[in-house]
Structure 1
Amino acid sequence: MDTLFEPKLQACFSTLFTFDFSDTECLSLVISKTLSIGIFLGSLAVKLPQILKIFSAGSGEGVSISFHILESVGHAINVVYNLRRGNPVLTYGEAFTIFVQDCIILFLLFQFSKKSVYAVFTVGGLLGLAYSAYYFVDPSLLDSLQWSVTAIFAASKVPQILSNFKNGHTGQLSFLTWFLNVAGSSARVFTTMTEVKDDTAILYGHLTGFSLNVIILLQILFFWQATNKATSKEKKD
């Protein structure tokens, strides 16, 4: 939030309040900041529909554990990298809130699969990873880790995509959560290109995430009827 009212942005607001929209750079910056605020606020509950759906069903059917573990790792690296680079908080704040919600989902998935002890080790390991990366990892290695986020996000979502095709349905995946993921990731691509456009590692990571989010959202729509049949059968059993 410290960069929300930076001098350049204040000057842009002054220009736009006079209805002078000729300065496209100012206009892009204001739009980017507005989107970033929206992304952050939306991220506070982006996974809430998924959490509630798993909790109410008492099952994590169709929800990939490996996806949430890998996504958590990717977001942890993303937060640490941006913190140490001093990037505007609003350009990555959602990574932290999604990380926390992923940890909650992992706990529920392990809880409903009667493997509660795994939840403790998994969540504890993720927190330990973030702490170690922030305090002990060399800056040059941290750059390499940020580049790996693109591969991590791909590796996290591909198993979920393949599992959906294999099952012929999307189980307990929440349409609202994935719709918000697509909306948020598309907006984040724009804000990254506007505010941290020189950092291609971050940009490629967001582009990859957006593309894979779209695929999963399309799967939810395509398998909608099959999913309803599969989940109804599970409730009867």
Structure 2
Amino acid sequence: MDYLGIDLSCATGSLRNGEFPAKDCLLPLITKLLGYFLVAASMTVKLPQIMKIVDNKSVRGLSIAAFELEVPLSVTTWVRAILYFALAPTVFAGQIDPLVFEALYASKHLIFLSARIPQIWKNFRNKSTGQLSFLTCLMNLGGSMARVFTSIQVNAPFTMLLGILLAVFTNGIIMSQILLYRTKEKEETLVKDKKIS
């Protein structure tokens, strides 16, 4: 029984017999389901951030550089696309050395760090996360943590796992900043309200 590339026969067979599916059956199933969930969630991850900006009519505390690097709309996007299309036939034909391929893949980690570090620095400098969406950041952190699990299950190359661990680390820093600075902001608001009354 194959549905959307997921083999459900071992799990359904075990459940019919009143048994819990074995680890070697369950882990690939969870990995596939998580993969599909991550793809679906990635299409909506920026929606809470957009809604927060629209509701508050403010981008206070958001790093423009971080968003530009995360969603590049410049000439570099076109250059990158041309390079991908130029290299793709060679990669798919197996004509590129695996080490070169991993080096090319690893270069995207620099872009990812360049997108996260400006936001982390701005939060630290301002001691505030401004209009940064808690839900979007939580989804980013949860998604990167789930990708660690799925990458280990499919024996992903080290460079891919390294990138995902960097994502967990940087997304974790941003989430901790949100929790830390918002708690401080609430405490400061309570103190101001007491002084006024």
Give TM-score scaled by structure 1 length.
0.64
User: Secondary structure in 1 aligned to 2:73?
Assistant: helix
Following superposition, the deviation at residue 178 of structure 1 comes to 0.6
1:128-143 equivalence runs, <5 A: 128-137=78-87, 139=91, 140=96, 142-143=101-102
Following superposition, the deviation at residue 57 of structure 1 comes to 2.8
Q: Which amino acid in the other structure matches residue 71 of structure 1?
A: E
Does 2:70 correspond to 1:71? yes
Q: Which amino acid in the other structure matches residue 81 of structure 2?
A: Y
Give the 3 Å change call, closer, same or farther, for CA 3–147 of structure 1 in structure 2: farther
Unaligned runs of 5+ in 1: 73-121, 231-237
1:1-237 equivalence runs, <5 A: 4-5=4-5, 9-18=7-16, 19-21=18-20, 23-72=22-71, 123-125=73-75, 127-137=77-87, 139=91, 140=96, 142-195=101-154, 197-225=155-183
Following superposition, the deviation at residue 176 of structure 1 comes to 0.7
| 8 Å contact kept, 2:148–2:165 | yes
Quick check: which has more Rg, 1 or 2?
2
Following superposition, the deviation at residue 129 of structure 1 comes to 3.7
| 8 Å contact kept, 1:170–1:227 | no
Following superposition, the deviation at residue 3 of structure 1 comes to 9.1
**Residues in 2 aligned to 1:159 and 1:199: alpha-carbon distance in whole angstroms:** 28
Following superposition, the deviation at residue 71 of structure 1 comes to 2.8
Aligned residues, how many? 177
Give TM-score scaled by structure 2 length.
0.76
**Residues in 2 aligned to 1:27 and 1:164: alpha-carbon distance in whole angstroms:** 41
Q: Which amino acid in the other structure matches residue 163 of structure 2?
A: G
Following superposition, the deviation at residue 64 of structure 1 comes to 1.2
| 8 Å contact kept, 2:15–2:21 | no
Following superposition, the deviation at residue 169 of structure 1 comes to 0.4
Following superposition, the deviation at residue 167 of structure 1 comes to 0.5
Structure 2 counterpart of 1:89: none
- Aligned CA RMSD, in angstroms, stands at 2.7
Q: 1:54-77, CA deviations, whole angstroms, 9 ceiling, x for partnerless residues?
A: 2233332211122223334xxxxx
Q: Which amino acid in the other structure matches residue 135 of structure 1?
A: F
User: Secondary structure in 1 aligned to 2:131?
Assistant: coil
Q: Which amino acid in the other structure matches residue 25 of structure 1?
A: D
User: Secondary structure in 2 aligned to 1:146?
Assistant: helix
Give the 3 Å change call, closer, same or farther, for CA 132–227 of structure 1 in structure 2: farther
Q: Percent identity over the alignment?
A: 34
